[in-house]
Amino acid sequence: MTKIHNLGFPRIGAKRELKFALEFYWKGESSRDDLKALGQQLRQRHWQLQTELDLVPVGDFAFYDQVLDMSFTLGNLPERVQDFHGDALDNYFRVARGRSAQSTSDTQCCGGVAAGEMTKWFDTNYHYIVPEFTAATEFKLDASRLLEQLAEAEAQGVTAKPVIIGPVTYLWLGKAKDDSNKLALLPKLLPVYAELLETLAAQGVEWVQIDEPILVTELDAGWQNAFNTAYQYLQDGRVKLLLATYFGQLAENRSLAANLPVAGLHVDAVNGRNDVLLLLGMLPEQMILSLGVINGRNIWKTDLNTVLNWVEPIAQQLGERLWLAPSCSLLHVPVDLDSEQKLDAEIKSWLAFAKQKLGELQVLATALNRGRDAVKAELDANRAAIEARRHSSRVNNPAVKAALAKIDAKLGQRQSPYAQRALKQAALLKLPKFPTTTIGSFPQTSEIRLARSQFKSGKLDAAGYKAAMQAEIARCVSEQETLGLDVFVHGEAERNDMVEYFGEQLDGYAFSQSGWVQSYGSRCVKPPILFGDISRPRPMTVEWISYAQSLTDKPMKGMLTGPVTILNWSFVRDDQPRSVTCKQLALAIREEVLDLEKAGVKVIQIDEAALREGLPLRKSQWQAYLDWAVESFRITANGVADETQIHTHMCYSEFNDIIAAIADMDADAITIETSRSDMELLDAFEHFNYPNGIGPGVYDIHSPNIPSEQHIVALMHKAAERVPTEQLWVNPDCGLKTRQWAEVIPALTNMVAAAKTLRASLG
């Protein structure tokens, strides 16, 4: 009998219950007990949705991040919070976001510290808190989180499969703060893992899922050897280990994975199907093979009949040694399609969210175990939906395909090199040295959210909504005038999300009502569904930017999201190459850029926050991606005159190894996140002569902490050691929509003061 299981479930809740509970707690509007109770309710609800599985993941729930959870389980806390003796959850939030709840009764729990560095989880839009190491790092087991959740699961009658991050991946994910060798910590780490596994065995656990996704990356000999060392050490434990890989193919690590002394191996059969047949000849006789046959990162229905055609011979060969699962944790998809009312019936019939994906697994298992006739109706309905999508006229637009065929190299070229453009822009804009700006958004206040909600529900007409948004734009302009910023933004009051806002105005997109996915902590996004060929029926931002510019003599940035980011932050169609879809987006956004320029906008920012996260996990495949990604940006940006200044923004990623590609984008100025890494991201500029303007983010907008003028000046001095001062801008590291005005005003006041100090000291 083929078993089915799941690698992880979305934890934020179908209605974002965890998001709101966290934010209430952080504001001091609810208690710690209230938050913990909500977490327990969500776990119980999600386990109930998984009752048809043979094994249910436990420990995949986190109040902020699963990597941070693992750091606390291993007792690996940054030194700056080790002297905290209050509630462990408060210390957890101090690492995650710089502080815990807003409480007047406990100043220690609220004392601000530097938040942990945050970066992308492999090539997804999920962010994790980076573990911190030094040569002196020690580990000490704290299994309380897992044990509490196991007890809850047992009480609910759940057949639990605890989920933990494996020791080699955990070290790989972290950062050595003293430049020591992370792998040297493995001998100290493994005894704690062994103790954890023995603790779980003592609770009656049979299987433990131990995630080692770095096996789908290109590993040098040291990391490959670390796997043999780690799992030989752990092989004598009483629990059975299911070693889980995902997000790609094993390729040259195939033999390594197949020969590790574990009881089972999970592989991503969506992205790494070529691995499977080769693995069949490598696996030890008793090893379980778990195939991830349901895409855990996208929302399209699985072609169940095609999967069965492929899997049935494998099932005959392996028998009970074959398990089926999603390709990865379902953390990356929304919870339940059944609650959707916004999507039209046709598009909805093409989709599957987390709950529906588990239903697909059940159909596959029933077909394998009892024969296809047992689920004939389900398989016939699935086939009809797949065919309907394939042939829909809503998916295919001949005019878009014709425009794509006309793309040539000239479309991506600026009129003049940067050095010549910079002189013309300087003469036109007349900016001071160390010019100040922000990334685009200002706080999304309760008034903004109320007006948007009333407009969508019909309680506020179009004229009233426009007036409300213009009032918010006017407030943003006024605040920037008072602050003394040099290049203004309109604040993006009218935008619900930097991708969804544009998708709503492009043909080829659809939108869910509750398709929320966790990005980090309480931050959720609702990726639009890119189902067809993309075109722009009308201007999308010109009216708002023109109004904002009419209120000030300062340069007003036009704010756009770039094609690569729109692509990477959408649920993207899987029936054509991503490169083709990206170039369709590039042509559409290019039209908007040209319309902004015609309207007199002299500075246009095209955000590519997600450029790096689209990189394939294997470096050997990077160049092909970067070629079409950079080309798409250049198509978008390079139809303008020399005098028009093009900016772009990127956040929370390591850029050092793609700095040449970033330079090839040829933006006149780039703003990047550097505050959480203490300007470490600028190390690339010690060996690379970046030619254009650059704004290293000088304060962390994801933390409520307010940076001092002295802190900002110190960071910019570090930047000036690597980048010529005439190229430097001063700005936050990301947009300000998630912050409150009470935090933004003092932070920007200090930032502007810092810029003035820099002009005096370095000018």
Q: DSSP letter string over 117-128? A: PEEESTTSS-EE
| Of the candidates 535, 469, 478, the residue with the CA atom closest to the CA atom of residue 496 | 469
Phi-psi region of 343 (alpha: psi -120 to 50; beta: other; left: phi over 0): beta
| Cβ 699 vs Cβ 751: under 8 Å | yes
From the annotation, which residues make up the binding site for 5-methyltetrahydropteroyltri-L-glutamate?
A: 16-19, 120, 125, 523-524, 569, 613
Compute and round to an integer the Cα radius of gyration of the chain: 26
Does pLDDT of 681 surpass 80?
A: no
Measured distance CA(78)–CA(44) in Å, rounded: 32
* 316-335 confidence digits (pLDDT tens): 999 999 999 999 999 999 99
Region 288-304: what's the mean pLDDT?
98
**What number is the average pLDDT over the span 238-263?**
97
Cα separation of 234 and 191, whole Å? 9
The dihedral over CA atoms of 340, 343, 348, 353, expressed in degrees to the nearest 10, equals: -40
Q: How far is CA 757 from the centre of its chain?
A: 36
- Residue type present at position 8: G
Q: For residue 717, indicate whether it is catalytic.
A: no
Q: Are 291 and 276 in contact (CB under 8 A)?
A: yes
Does an H or E element contain 208, and which?
strand 207-211
Residue type, 461: D
What is the DSSP-derived secondary structure letter of residue 234? H
Mean pLDDT along residues 189-205: 98
158: left (phi over 0), alpha (psi -120 to 50) or beta: beta
Which pLDDT score, from 0 to 100, does residue 106 have? 41
Q: Please check the confidence at residue 109 and state whether its pLDDT lies above 70.
A: no
In the predicted model, what is the mean pLDDT of residues 502-522?
94
Burial (CB < 10 A; 0-12, 13-18, 19+), residue 380, is exposed
Mean pLDDT value across residues 334-341:
94
* Confidence check: pLDDT of 107 > 50: no
3-class DSSP state of 33: helix
Distance CA 247, CA 242 (A): 16
The annotated binding site is made up of 16-19, 120, 125, 439-441, 492, 523-524, 569, 607, 613, 649, 651, 664, 673, 734
Q: Residue 355 burial by CB count (10 A; 0-12/13-18/19+): exposed, middle or buried?
A: buried
Q: How far is 649 from 606, CA to CA, in rounded Å?
A: 7
Dist CA 233 CA 19 (whole Å): 39
Backbone φ, ψ for residue 684 (5° rounding): -60, -30
- What percent of the chain has a predicted confidence (pLDDT) above 90? 85
- CB of 134 within 8 A of CB of 76? no
What is the average pLDDT across 218-224? 97
pLDDT at 104: 41
Tokens describing residue 475: 């407030």
pLDDT tens across 531-585, in order?
Answer: 999 999 999 999 999 999 999 999 999 999 999 999 999 999 999 999 999 999 9
Q: Does residue 101 sit in helix, strand or coil?
A: coil
Q: Which of 85, 127, 702, 711 is catalytic?
A: 702
Least confident of 37-51, 320-334, 526-540, 710-724: 710-724
Domain boundaries, the chain: 3-8+52-74+114-390
Q: Could you tell me which of 27, 196, 16 has the C-alpha nearest to residue 104?
A: 27
Give the pLDDT score at 369: 97
Whether 547 contacts 602, CB under 8 Å: no
Distance CA 197, CA 174 (A): 22
Say whether pLDDT at 375 is over 50: yes
Domain 3-8+52-74+114-390 class in CATH: alpha beta
**How many Å apart are CA 221 and CA 639, to the nearest integer?**
47
What's residue 570's pLDDT?
A: 96
CA-wise closest residue to 670 among 650, 688, 699, 643: 650
Look at residue 105 in the predicted model and tell me its pLDDT.
40
Instruction: Average the pLDDT over each of 93-102, 142-151, 256-265, 292-301 and give the range with the smallest value.
Output: 93-102
Q: To which H or E segment does residue 679 belong? A: none
Q: Do residues 597 and 646 make contact, with C-beta atoms less than 8 angstroms apart?
A: no
pLDDT score of 696: 87
| Residue 612: per-residue pLDDT | 86
Mean pLDDT across the chain, nearest whole number?
A: 94
Q: What angle do CA 60, 8, 266 make, to 5 degrees?
A: 120
Measured CA angle at 719 (ends 718, 722), to 5 deg:
100
**Average pLDDT rounded to a whole number, residues 680-697:** 81
Given a contact cutoff of 8 angstroms between Cβ atoms, the answer to whether 754 and 712 are in contact is yes
* Alpha-carbon gap, residue 352 to 367, rounded angstroms: 19
* DSSP state letters, 476-511: HHHHHHHHT-SSB--B-TT-S-TTHHHHTTSEEEE-
Give the pTM.
0.87
Query: How many other C-beta atoms lie within 10 A of the C-beta of residue 115?
Result: 22
* Separation CA 459–CA 450 (nearest Å): 10
Pairing of strands 207-211, 240-244: parallel
Which residues make up each annotated binding site for Zn(2+)?
649, 651, 664, 673, 734
User: How many other C-beta atoms can be found within 10 angstroms of the C-beta atom of residue 219?
Assistant: 18
pLDDT value, residue 87: 85
**Per-residue tokens: 718:** 């570090």
Dist. CA 625–CA 739, nearest whole Å: 34
User: 383 near 563, Cβ under 8 Å?
Assistant: no
Compute φ and ψ for 718, nearest 5 degrees: -65, -40
| pLDDT-derived band at 111, boundaries 50, 70, 90 | low
| Residue whose structure tokens are 């989920």 | 163
Counting every residue, how long is the chain? Answer: 763
Name 664's Cβ contacts closer than 8 Å, sequence gap at least 6: 630
Specify the pLDDT at position 108.
46
